[in-house]
Amino acid sequence: MSEPLLRVEGLEAGYGEVQVLWGISLAAERGRLTTIVGANGVGKTTTLRAIAGSLRPWGGRVLFKGEDVTRLAPHAKTARGLVLVPEGRQLFHTMTVEENLQMGAYTGRAARDYAARLEHIYALFVRLKERRFQRAGTLSGGEQQMLAIARGLMADPELVIIDELSLGLAPIVVHELFAKLESLKSEGLTIVLVEQNVHLAFSLSDYAYVIAEGRLFTEGPPAQLESRPEIRRAYLGL
Partner 1 sequence: MSALLEVADLSKRFGGLQAVASLNFTVGEGEILGLIGPNGAGKSTVFNLINGVFAPNSGRVAFRGADITGAAPYRVARLGLARTHQIVQPFAGMTVLDNCTVGACFGRENLPLARAREAAHEAAALVGLEKRLEAPALELTIAGKKRLELARALAARPALLMLDEVLAGLNPTEVAHMIEILRTIRGRGVSILMIEHLMQAIMSLSDRIVVLNSGKKLSEGAPAQVAHDPAVVEAYLGDPGMVQRRPQ
What residues line the site for partner 1 (CB under 8 A)? 14, 17-20, 22, 39-42, 166, 171, 174-175, 196-200, 203, 212-213, 231-232, 235-238
Query: At 11, phi and psi to the nearest 5?
Result: -70, 130
Question: Which residue, 108 or 229, is less far from partner 1 as judged by CB?
Answer: 229
Measured in whole angstroms, the distance separating CA 134 from the mean position of its chain's CA atoms is 25
**At closest approach, how far in Å is the CB of 27 from partner 1?**
23
Q: Which is nearer to partner 1, 106 or 235 (CB)?
A: 235
Q: Would you say 2 or 40 has its CB closer to partner 1?
A: 40
User: Min. distance of Cβ 148 from partner 1 in angstroms?
Assistant: 19
Distances (CA, A) of 213 to 21, 221, 236: 8, 21, 11
In the complex, least distance from residue 7 CB atom to partner 1, rounded to whole angstroms: 25
Whether residue 150 contacts residue 101, with contact meaning beta carbons closer than 8 Å, is answered with yes
Residue 198: Cβ within 10 Å count = 21
Give the nearer residue to partner 1 in terms of CB position, either 6 or 216: 216
Contact 217, 225 (CB under 8 A): no
The least CB distance from residue 41 to partner 1, in Å, is: 4
Query: Which one, of 37, 26, 83, 5, lies nearest residue 205 by Cα?
Result: 37
